[in-house]
Amino acid sequence: MQIPPKTRPRLFLVDAYALIYRSYFAFIKRPLMNAAGENTSAPFGFTRFLLDIREQFEPDYLAVVFDAGDSFRDQEYPEYKATREKMPDDLRHSLGRIRQIVEAFNDPVVELDGYEADDVIGTLARQA
């Protein structure tokens, strides 16, 4: 991939749950497991992505955006995401570790009650 020359500061806003799910399901047929038998696919993929972004694009700013509970869409339309399957338990258990990874990178975490990450990202991108 050809990276355009850096002519102004680069901002990367990461949709945490989109990346977490993508990382988890990328290894669904052969999950990565640690010595304790815990599925580490999502933490591994999440970390790899953050490292790759830094190496390839050298962002000046990077923040990780998490969904914060139910959104206004859930209140307006109760069937919103009603057909979506429940988060797998082994993925849910890795969420704390992923937050520790973000903290270790010293990346800001953005969460706004009532809004999904993509809503927050769209708003911040427009303001940038």
4-13 mean pLDDT: 90
CB 53 within 8 A of CB 59: yes
Q: What are phi and psi of 67, to 5 degrees?
A: -65, 145
Per-residue pLDDT tens over the stretch 62-115: 999 998 876 556 566 666 555 667 889 999 999 999 999 999 999 999 999 888
Q: What is the DSSP letter of 78?
A: T
Looking at residue 74, its pLDDT comes to 57
Tell me the domain boundaries of the chain: 11-127
In CATH, what class is 11-127? Answer: alpha beta
Looking at residue 75, its pLDDT comes to 67
Q: Is 3 exposed, middle or buried (0-12, 13-18, 19+ CB in 10 A)?
A: exposed
In sequence order, which residues have a C-beta less than 8 Å from that of residue 11 and are 6 or more positions away? 59, 60, 61, 62, 124, 125, 128
